[in-house]
């Protein structure tokens, strides 16, 4: 805990922190003695969580309403950030479910704005700050959905594949500067959003937000990619290395058609 705090403290920014996995990241980071700055769109939830963290973990906590689909708001936040943030977790994601041709016209663009433009811009802004301090960590949430094409979440899955590859490149570039970069390729997570789209029993390998957050943070500094959970590690290896591509897509379809 002391090593984690000394390298990635004294502050962490969690993007997409209002509930679910973002809340789990904020709580886990706070439990390690690091102050947290929470950003997301839902201000009331941020305010409530900030108070809980201050009370339960005895660390400082701040929040700000930021729409992570808006580059201008992202730039404004980081240009005005007045704390020494040694860790940034980009957890925000937009993931509407449906056949691509039937989605509202604005959905694919918003998926790209939140899931690709957002993390690229955040990584650019925070890496410049971390380079000056000589240390830091950047965590990007990816997904097993990005291992292969995923029907009904095709654009979302493609953005998650981007985040994995992006993190791998940054990991190599920024490591000599003391900055650790990690993509967390999670499987199904029991978040409120997942529960709203899932009408049957959870998929194999499903983890709680707390499990994913802890496993991800524990993997920071140990390599460019982590896959939380043994079942999910096996699934990524099997789907990405063993099965023919077409079979992997068809197998994924058997899961996503239930959404």
At residue 102 the predicted structure's pLDDT band, cuts being 50, 70 and 90, is: very high
Higher per-residue confidence, 241 vs 86: 86
- HSE-up (13 A, CA, CB side) for residue 83: 20
| CA neighbor of 25 nearest in space, from 94, 110, 127, 93 | 93
Choose the weakest-confidence range: 210-214, 216-220, 252-256.
252-256
Enumerate the domain spans of the chain: 2-256
Supply the DSSP symbol for 95: -
What would the mean pLDDT of 75-82 be, rounded to a whole number? 97
Does the structure show a pLDDT above 70 at 211?
Answer: yes
Cβ count within 10 A of residue 143: 25
Task: Give the rounded percent of residues in the chain with a pLDDT score beyond 90.
Answer: 86
Look-up of token digits 């058997």: 254
pLDDT in tens, 137-184: 999 999 999 999 999 999 999 999 999 999 999 999 999 999 999 999
Note the Cα 79 to chain centre separation in Å.
Answer: 22
pLDDT in tens, 188-208: 998 766 555 555 677 788 999
Does the structure show a pLDDT above 90 at 114?
Answer: yes
Please give the C-alpha separations between residue 100 and each of 50, 92, 204, 258, in angstroms, as whole numbers. Answer: 37, 21, 26, 16
The side-by-side arrangement of strands in the sheet containing 61-65 is 61-65, 35-40, 11-15, 85-90, 136-143, 179-186, 225-226
Active-site residue, from 156, 172, 194, 233: 156
Write down the architecture of domain 2-256 according to CATH.
Answer: 3-Layer(aba) Sandwich (3.40)
How far apart CA 224 and CA 222 sit, in angstroms, is 7
pLDDT at 45: 97
What is the reported pTM?
Answer: 0.92
Does the structure show a pLDDT above 80 at 105?
Answer: yes
Residue 90 annotated to the active site: no
What would the mean pLDDT of 79-97 be, rounded to a whole number? 96
At residue 241 the predicted structure's pLDDT band, cuts being 50, 70 and 90, is: confident
Handedness of CA 130, 32, 145, 112 (dihedral sign): negative
At residue 252 the predicted structure's pLDDT band, cuts being 50, 70 and 90, is: confident
pLDDT at 202: 75
Supply the DSSP symbol for 152: T
Active-site residue, from 37, 160, 194, 215: 160
pLDDT at 199: 52
Name the packing angle between helices 118-133 and 154-174 (round to 10°): 20
How far apart CA 67 and CA 225 sit, in angstroms, is 27
Does the structure show a pLDDT above 70 at 113?
Answer: yes
What would the mean pLDDT of 63-73 be, rounded to a whole number? 98
Residue 156 annotated to the active site: yes
At residue 228 the predicted structure's pLDDT band, cuts being 50, 70 and 90, is: very high
pLDDT at 195: 54
Supply the DSSP symbol for 202: P
Mean pLDDT of the chain: 94
Q: Collapsing DSSP states into helix, strand and coil, what is residue 85?
A: strand
Cβ count within 10 A of residue 54: 16
How far apart CA 27 and CA 53 sit, in angstroms, is 7
What would the mean pLDDT of 129-141 be, rounded to a whole number? 96
Does the structure show a pLDDT above 70 at 83?
Answer: yes
Does the structure show a pLDDT above 60 at 221?
Answer: yes
Cβ count within 10 A of residue 93: 23
């Amino acid at each position: 805990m002391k090593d984690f705090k000394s390298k990635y403290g004294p502050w962490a920014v969690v993007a997409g922190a209002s509930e679910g996995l973002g809340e789990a990241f904020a709580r886990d980071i706070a439990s390690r003695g690091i102050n947290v700055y929470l950003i997301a769109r839902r201000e009331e939830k941020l305010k409530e969580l900030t108070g809980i963290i201050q009370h339960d973990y005895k660390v400082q906590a701040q929040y700000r309403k930021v729409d992570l689909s808006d580059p201008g708001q992202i730039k404004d936040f980081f240009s005005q950030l007045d704390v020494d943030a040694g860790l940034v977790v980009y957890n925000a994601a937009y993931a509407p479910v449906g056949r691509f041709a039937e989605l509202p016209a604005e959905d694919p663009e918003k998926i790209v704005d939140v899931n690709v433009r957002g993390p690229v811009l955040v990584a650019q802004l925070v890496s410049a700050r971390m380079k000056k301090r000589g240390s830091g960590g950047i965590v990007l949430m990816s997904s097993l959905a990005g291992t292969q094409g995923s029907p009904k979440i095709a654009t979302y899955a493609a953005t998650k594949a981007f985040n994995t590859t992006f993190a791998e490149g940054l990991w190599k570039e920024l490591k000599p500067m003391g900055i650790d970069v990690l993509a967390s390729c999670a499987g199904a997570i029991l978040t409120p959003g997942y529960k709203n789209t899932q009408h049957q029993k959870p998929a194999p390998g499903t983890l709680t937000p707390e499990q994913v957050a802890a496993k991800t943070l524990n993997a920071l500094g140990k390599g460019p990619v982590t896959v939380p959970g043994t079942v999910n590690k096996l699934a990524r290896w099997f789907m990405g290395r063993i099965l023919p591509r077409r079979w992997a897509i068809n197998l994924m379809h058997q899961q996503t058609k239930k959404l």
